[in-house]
Amino acid sequence: MIVRENSSSSSNRIKMKQIYKSDYLTIHDFDNILIQEWSSKTISVDHFKKELSAFLCHFKKIKPAGVLWLQENFSLSIPVDLHQWIEKNILEPQYKCGLRKLAFTIPADQNAHRSMIDSFNGVSSVMHPRYFISKEKALNFLTESATRPESKEVYYEISRSLDMTQITLQVDHRHLPHAIRHLDRLKSQFHFRMKNTDDFAQLTLRELEIFKAICSGAVNRVIADQLFLSESTVATHRKSIVKKLGIKTSKDWHQFGQAFL
Phi and psi of 203, rounded to 5°? -65, 140
| pLDDT tier, 237 (very low <50, low <70, confident <90, very high otherwise) | very high
Enclosing H/E stretch for 47? helix 45-62
Residue with the bigger pLDDT between 7 and 108: it is: 108
Which pLDDT score is estimated for 15?
A: 76
| pLDDT tier, 146 (very low <50, low <70, confident <90, very high otherwise) | very low
For the chain, domains (ranges, CATH) are: 2-170 (3.30.750.24), 182-260 (1.10.10.10)
CA–CA separation, 238 and 228 (whole Å): 15
From residue 168, how far is each of 10, 133, 144 by CA, in Å? 21, 8, 20
Mean confidence (pLDDT) of the chain: 88
| pLDDT tier, 168 (very low <50, low <70, confident <90, very high otherwise) | confident
Ranges 101-110, 113-122, 147-156: which has the least confidence: 147-156
| pLDDT tier, 58 (very low <50, low <70, confident <90, very high otherwise) | very high
Tell me the mean pLDDT in the region 153-163: 72
Which pLDDT score is estimated for 61?
A: 95
CA–CA separation, 251 and 80 (whole Å): 34
Q: Is the pLDDT of residue 25 over 50?
A: yes
